[in-house]
Amino acid sequence: MKRKYKLYQVDAFTKEKFTGNPAGVVIHADGLTEVDMQQIARELNNSETAFLFDSDDPTYDVHTRYFTPTSEVPICGHATIASQFIWAKETQSKSPIVYNKTGAGILPVEIEGDGGETRVVMTQGAIEFGAVLAGEIKTRLLSALHITEQDLIDCPIQIVSTGHSKVMVGIKSKVVLNALAPDMTVLTDISQVIGCNGFYVFVLGNSEDDILVCGRMFAPAIGITEDPVTGNANGPLGAYLIHYGLVTHEGDHFSFKALQGEAIKRPGVVRVQVELKDGQSELVKVSGEAVVVFESFIEL
């Protein structure tokens, strides 16, 4: 017997169609197998597609699984923004908080506003600082990005995670950022060595600017040549900036906006909030708007 599922194409971290980061969203996905989900994700060919499963457990409201065109990943920022925007629309829930079960744990998602002005605030997973890339692996990475030591800011290249790790690469010039044309084969090889599949290259602006960060994110090892706007890169970046004293902050909160996707004509803005304790990052949230591009059905 054929099964019918409703799916959406949603642009996240934007209010304008055809900008930001597109995500597929399949709601009430119960009955889909991993093979089904992988095939749907490959067919839609977004960087991620989110599959939402109804909950029969009081500890969470919805269970979301995330697939790139080639593999499942534990969590995805823009696909969470997109899928929770749709979940709020479909369920008409009045609850301001949704507990979302993911591969990175059960995480709260706040829904602010309603209708076209809905903003989704995603609490990310635990902050983890991983390996610093140095020596031969750093040399290989710079060669793959076609940049030099002189292009880098005075800060380590390091793996940082809030649920789905990224390599943080700070450079000095936005011109260099926008001109990047990485060797995707080498980046894929490096990912296999370091156990991290995303490379986030960023430039800092002035702290007084509305936009503090401009960035680009490459993850060819999981089928993402370039991700337009990445919540799971800009979130851990917030913790990284504080850890290395690259920004100033007052009190126990630090927030900024990051612009991503300009170089591939899919600009979007991520808002990042970092909560601190004793001067150290303790919790990261990312937020943004979303807009539906189209909705349809798929029969299997």
CA distance 266 to 284: 24
- Which distant-in-sequence residues (6+ apart) come within 8 Å of 234 by Cβ? 77, 200, 213, 215, 258, 260, 270, 272, 286
CA distance 270 to 210: 12
- Which distant-in-sequence residues (6+ apart) come within 8 Å of 183 by Cβ? 143, 144, 146
CA distance 45 to 58: 33
DSSP one-letter code for 94: -
CA 158 to chain centre: 17
Residue-by-residue DSSP string for 187-219: HHHHHHHHT---EEEEEE--TTSS--EEEEEEE
Distances (CA, A) of 135 to 128, 191, 216, 229: 22, 16, 23, 30
Catalytic center residues: 48
Q: Return the structure tokens found at 233.
A: 């890169």
